Amino acid sequence: MCGILGIMGNGDVAQEIYDGLTTLQHRGQDSAGIMTFDGHFNLKKGNGLVRDVFHTKNMLRLKGNMGIGHVRYPTAGSYDAAEAQPFFVNSPFGIALIHNGNLTNYEQLKNQVIKDNIRYLNTSSDSEVLINVVANEILKLNKLKLEPKDLFRAMAKVFKRLKGSYSCIMMIADHGLVAFRDPNGIRPLVLGERHTESLVKEYVFSSESVALAGMGFNILCDVQPGEVVYIDTNRKVHHKQCVKTDWAPCIFEFVYLARPDSVLDKVSVYKTRLRMGNALAKKIKKVLLKEKLPIDVVMPVPDTARSSALAVAEELGVKYREGLIKNRYIGRTFIMPGQAIRKKSIKYKLMPIELEIRGKNILLVDDSIVRGNTCKKIIQIVREAGAKNVYFASSAPPLRNPCVYGVDMPSKKDFIANKLSIDEIAKEIGADKLFYQEIDDLIWAAHEGNKKITKFCCACMDGKYPTKEITMKRLDEMEEIRNASERPGAVESAENASDDQLTLI
């Protein structure tokens, strides 16, 4: 679920990339990187938040009117700083690439790259394999100058080799910016434009539209599934649909991953979450009438569930109150590296407002339940603050299956919904009553935003993976690989290898 950004500007773009990445920081907190081009590639990347990786001396050396930036949330590879993006190859032309997603045929591609390209891979990242696959197909063209038709021909072959999810931005030396998206459009990617006084347009690609607004760009279009968009140095935009598509964007982007002020594939995340809350409240209302459960107040688990909780309160006709205050200096626990760190962070992340809780029947609304550890701790916090009864509602249906497309969910056995019934889960997490969203209602909430999207990837909930290579056998194999290479934790630094085309900062 990384965040990616690429800009073609009229002046140095490093500062705007930095600003854009801070807007996308919610998509990855492990590492950050920026690469620009001014006749040479200039790179700075490392572990940490955007504000920690880049300093004034770095920014001053990131020259160039074309650049790409990345914030990383590891799903393939390790936490080694060497796996921070962008990645770079110096042949052909000089290509830099950033990637959001996860290649499900990584092992096969890795073996092909080593055999066909006679290239040494520095990391275990699928993104490094991906850039080498692209470079190999472009190299086969044997062109001194890359015309749009040549690039599209090479990319059509790239699409045939890749499986899984990938939204990517490439920077090709002396040519321009290229963006492409997998045939299912699982991860989002949007193109924006900005008019300038010089009448020369500037362009930006971003994982989410929210990054465009802050920089003064207007949304031009979404990069379509299976599409390649090439912006050359003359600022001409070339589009090409390279493969047949089967659109199935990730539903979890709307549940948790994306910011509420983003618009993905013309679907407002905020309005989707309001509709999720409306649908969830109607289900809750039926149970309340039947079992005569008293609810005095609806409270969100900040921050992702706020929109849904507000809609739940309005639909039920119950007060909405903020009863849990989030420490904004603690990262998103869902994307923290390792279960031990997640557990430790939860108790520092949320603090109760006892005034709003004591003696009341509380309905807590959260975005989802994965292992059950977080909501169990939250319910305990609310009870200790004096709640009379604590009910818990999830804006998402039960999560039961690992995501293989870029969200670091646990192995199948670790999902609490795979081990227990809903009543048993309620008992395990300490809730007096537990409510889950219906999957049809969740799909409806997103579909209402764009009727052209008829299918969403809900594999983490229903087990229906949109790419054909994902079978139960393949899932078992991937889980074995995951278990065999448990991450040891973040590596503070890594040696950087340079060449005469790459300026490392």
Helix axes 148-161, 126-139, angle to 10 degrees: 130
Please enumerate in sequence order all residues whose Cβ is within 8 A of that of 97, keeping only pairs 6 or more positions apart, or say none: 68, 85, 86, 87, 88, 127, 130, 131, 134, 168, 169, 170, 171
Rounded-to-integer distance, Cα 165 and Cα 467, Å: 9
Q: How far apart are CA 425 and CA 5, in angstroms?
A: 40
Q: Is 221 marked active-site?
A: no
How many of the other CB atoms lie within 10 Å of CB of 44? 24
Read off the DSSP letter of residue 250: B
d(CA 180, CA 205): 10
- Tell me the longest C-alpha to C-alpha distance in the chain: 75
Residues in the chain: 505
- Distance (Å, whole) CA 126 – CA 118: 17
Task: Give Cβ neighbours of residue 463 (< 8 Å, ≥ 6 apart).
Answer: 400, 401
215 sits in which H/E element:
helix 210-215
Phi-psi region of 166 (alpha: psi -120 to 50; beta: other; left: phi over 0): beta
Identified catalytic residue from 2, 457, 458, 460:
2
CA distances from 134 to 163, 177, 192, 354, 418 (A): 14, 14, 24, 56, 39
Name the pairing type of β-strands 502-504 and 41-47.
parallel
Secondary element (H or E) of residue 34: strand 31-37
Single-letter amino acid, residue 37:
F
Q: What positions carry a catalytic annotation?
A: 2
